[in-house]
Chains A and B, each alone.
Chain A
């Protein structure tokens, strides 16, 4: 093999070696001393006590509890890490003790003092480490128990909030009424005092906070509007828009303004806080009002998009105009009532009003929402297929009707029974989770619609991309698939956390869950890490691309410039390709956390398969490697393998492609090429001999003919002088003299053309020199004839001779040599 191939292999080996120290560095450099571990344990113990204290303090605060639980779990992990770090020391002690062996018996000679001392020290160290690990173990148990108890506390918190029962009686309402009067008065006073103060001293801060956040929201809204305007603009389509357009308009016209509203709410609260405009008693009120405002805005926007009370053409669902309008109204009222419930509850909490007031308000809100649901059940919005939007609607399908009545009645009844928390929870779920689910569903539908065949090309963005980058139909279709997939991911990533938040999960909960989902999924004793697998895939891709780049660079720059033969270049490129992919695969597998040693097991299982079924493929594979290394032929060679003759087009690992002269590609398994005989016309050089057989009439002089032929051959361009051409007198018969011309050409590929030219030249020359080529079947033909016939024939010939003799004499030279007639 050439130097280049060898150097490439060296390079690969060197890069493998380079990886080795990296692995070594990842291992802990030194073992911490026992004292350090002890200090770490003490710190962990103190932390655990602090966490336990905090849990006691924040028994009512769900969000805080989640954080504490995460802290406890992290502490548990650090305990484990501390103990694991002491393990090498323990191993070393054990090894040393084994080296020393058992202490000598009483009757044998005592050991040297230094050995006794060492024994003592080792035993003491070993005990210390064991004690330390035992302590860590106890702490770990405590930490786990604490984490479990936090979960328990949170569960009971949730059930308390939902299933707490209050006796509903007239007394409650009178007390609530009193409390309400006080609350309104206090609220008025607080807000007025705050407002006066802010207006007098913090006017600039207030206005700039609101102005700035409005600006941010507007920039976001305008920017996204410009970006998505084709999805967004209802006016741009005059007649009835397609389902796809309606879907995307509905989705984006809900999402974008809602996002802008969220940004406005968050920034304005943040800025008000930063500018010190908020007072501690006002801050929660502003926060909840902003949050609820955003939620209500989102629900209303969504209902607008789905129901479109003003324009039946844009309605996503098949509902009548009147039905849609009524539904819109009912849902809007429900959302507002539910939102108001939460705002008022927050106000009561902030102002320290009695709980009874909150209960009364939630009671009323639940009853209102329940009644509204029952009313909704009696709206008749349904249209049959093909009916115009302004037709009178029909009642709901029975299941929906029953569900609405049942849930509405349930809300009212549970509120009346005193389960106000439960009915409030359910009412919120119906409004907010329902809205989120509807948006999610629309998002999923629009994702599906985008990824439908040829749908993406129809969208405005698809058209723009087509015009800009000149994408083909196929490319657009694939982009549509990708876009659909992206929308799906976006929808799930955005809405599932929102819904979970709705259901009482805390953000820290979701973060921890997502973290766990991505780093370790336990199935029985198997742990799968999505991040690891993803990293492995990424590394493999990077390695693959790097290999391709290296191949191209080496081929195009180094090898091409050093005038290396095309076949060698091909071999080098292929070898690098396989080595690189294998290397990238190994790195990727290791990064994915798949243990390579377990590959041995799989390989063992496979070896049986290779022995039987894969035998052929494997032998072809090895043959392919041999072909690349030995290079009996290379790409572009003219080979003959069995009945196949043609040019080698590609040598891959399993088979070689040979293109015949008829342009048929024949795939020949490599093992055939290695095991069988392969003729190669262009192995070392392209020199080739051509043979041309020809015959002339037997009456010619063979030596003369040979000389003439030799002259022609020597004069023929395209034939080599050295090795010298030859003309061989092969055979003679009664009819012909057979010759063969043997001559060499520099490039065997030109042999066909040269032969053709040569034949033409020979023929012209033979004609010129009057050398007869053709011959009859036999020189003399006996004819049988009767005596009368002969006499008659003689007479005719005599007359004819007479007639000819009487004409002027002319030369009949050809007849003398030809003697064609008997």
Chain B
């Protein structure tokens, strides 16, 4: 029972961080600004990355800048990124 609860908390709590899903065949680079520093994060083709547990700014491959509070999922599909 307890392990189940823990598993539940773990799977659900990860929803607080933002997730990037790359559904394309090529890798993309996102610029993530978090905790006062900019860093580039590469998302390999078909991979899922977890970024910014506590809010951040992201520059998408298209050049658009968006802010995330955490809990969002960014999907990159055929070159365009959308926030869910």
Find out whether the CB atom of B8 lies under 8 angstroms from the CB atom of A526: no
**Chain A residues with Cβ under 8 A from B55's Cβ?**
77, 80
Closest to A601 in B: B11
Total B residues in contact with A, Cβ cutoff 8 Å = 34
**Chain A residues with Cβ under 8 A from B35's Cβ?**
144
Find out whether the CB atom of A136 lies under 8 angstroms from the CB atom of B4: no
Given A140-B33, A525-B17; A594-B69 close (CB under 8 Å): no
**Chain B residues with Cβ under 8 A from A601's Cβ?**
11
For the complex, give the distance between the alpha carbons of A126 and B65 in Å. 10
Given A137-B33, A137-B57, A602-B8; A525-B65 close (CB under 8 Å): no
Given A137-B33, A527-B13, A527-B17; A87-B8 close (CB under 8 Å): no
> Which residues in window 121-149 of A have CB below 8 A to B?
126, 129-130, 133-134, 136-137, 140-141, 144-145, 147-148
- Judged by a CB distance under 8 angstroms, whether B67 is at the interface is yes
Find out whether the CB atom of B33 lies under 8 angstroms from the CB atom of A133: no
Give B22 Cβ to nearest chain A Cβ, in Å.
Answer: 18
Of the candidates A77, A81, A141, A522, the one whose C-beta lies within 8 Å of that of B36 is: A141
Find out whether the CB atom of A522 lies under 8 angstroms from the CB atom of B69: no
For the complex, give the distance between the alpha carbons of A633 and B11 in Å. 43
Find out whether the CB atom of A595 lies under 8 angstroms from the CB atom of B68: no
- Judged by a CB distance under 8 angstroms, whether B1 is at the interface is no
Give B76 Cβ to nearest chain A Cβ, in Å.
Answer: 13
Find out whether the CB atom of A527 lies under 8 angstroms from the CB atom of B12: no
**Chain A residues with Cβ under 8 A from B53's Cβ?**
522, 524-527
Find out whether the CB atom of B12 lies under 8 angstroms from the CB atom of A595: yes
Find out whether the CB atom of B10 lies under 8 angstroms from the CB atom of A130: no
**Chain B residues with Cβ under 8 A from A526's Cβ?**
9-10, 13-14, 16-17, 53
Give A78 Cβ to nearest chain B Cβ, in Å.
Answer: 11
Find out whether the CB atom of B82 lies under 8 angstroms from the CB atom of A91: yes
Contact digits for B60-72, partner A, Cβ 8 Å, 1 yes 0 no = 0001111111100
Closest to A77 in B: B55
Find out whether the CB atom of A525 lies under 8 angstroms from the CB atom of B14: yes
For the complex, give the distance between the alpha carbons of A153 and B55 in Å. 26
Closest to A76 in B: B55
Given A525-B17, A598-B8, A602-B11; A87-B36 close (CB under 8 Å): no
Find out whether the CB atom of A136 lies under 8 angstroms from the CB atom of B57: yes
> Which residues in window 423-482 of A have CB below 8 A to B?
none
Find out whether the CB atom of A594 lies under 8 angstroms from the CB atom of B57: no
Contact digits for B34-67, partner A, Cβ 8 Å, 1 yes 0 no = 0111100000000000100111110000011111
Give B49 Cβ to nearest chain A Cβ, in Å.
Answer: 10
> Which residues in window 1-36 of B have CB below 8 A to A?
4, 7-17, 33, 35-36
Interface of B is mostly: mixed
Give B2 Cβ to nearest chain A Cβ, in Å.
Answer: 14
For the complex, give the distance between the alpha carbons of A148 and B68 in Å. 22
Closest to B35 in A: A144
For the complex, give the distance between the alpha carbons of A148 and B35 in Å. 10
Find out whether the CB atom of B36 lies under 8 angstroms from the CB atom of A148: yes
Find out whether the CB atom of B67 lies under 8 angstroms from the CB atom of A144: no
Find out whether the CB atom of A126 lies under 8 angstroms from the CB atom of B64: yes
Closest to B81 in A: A94
Find out whether the CB atom of B15 lies under 8 angstroms from the CB atom of A595: yes
Closest to A523 in B: B13
Of the candidates B67, B69, B70, the one whose C-beta lies within 8 Å of that of A133 is: B67
Closest to A83 in B: B67
**Chain B residues with Cβ under 8 A from A83's Cβ?**
57, 65-67
For the complex, give the distance between the alpha carbons of A595 and B70 in Å. 13
Find out whether the CB atom of B13 lies under 8 angstroms from the CB atom of A528: yes
Find out whether the CB atom of B36 lies under 8 angstroms from the CB atom of A144: yes
**Chain A residues with Cβ under 8 A from B65's Cβ?**
83, 129-130, 133-134, 137
Of the candidates A90, A140, A147, A594, the one whose C-beta lies within 8 Å of that of B12 is: A594
Find out whether the CB atom of A593 lies under 8 angstroms from the CB atom of B12: yes
- Judged by a CB distance under 8 angstroms, whether A192 is at the interface is no
- Judged by a CB distance under 8 angstroms, whether A71 is at the interface is no
Closest to B70 in A: A527
Give A176 Cβ to nearest chain B Cβ, in Å.
Answer: 46
- Judged by a CB distance under 8 angstroms, whether A520 is at the interface is yes
**Chain A residues with Cβ under 8 A from B15's Cβ?**
595, 598
- Judged by a CB distance under 8 angstroms, whether A599 is at the interface is yes
Contact digits for A57-89, partner B, Cβ 8 Å, 1 yes 0 no = 000000000000000000001001101101100
Give A169 Cβ to nearest chain B Cβ, in Å.
Answer: 46
**Chain A residues with Cβ under 8 A from B57's Cβ?**
80, 83, 133, 136-137, 140
- 6 chain-A/chain-B pairs, Cβ below 8 angstroms: A80-B57, A87-B83, A90-B66, A133-B66, A137-B57, A526-B53
What is B's interface to A at a CB cutoff of 8 Å? Answer: 4, 7-17, 33, 35-38, 50, 53-57, 63-70, 80, 82-83
Please name 6 further chain A to chain B contacts, defined as beta carbons within 8 Å, in addition to the given A80-B56, A594-B13, A602-B11, sorted by A numbering. A94-B82, A525-B14, A526-B17, A595-B12, A595-B15, A602-B7
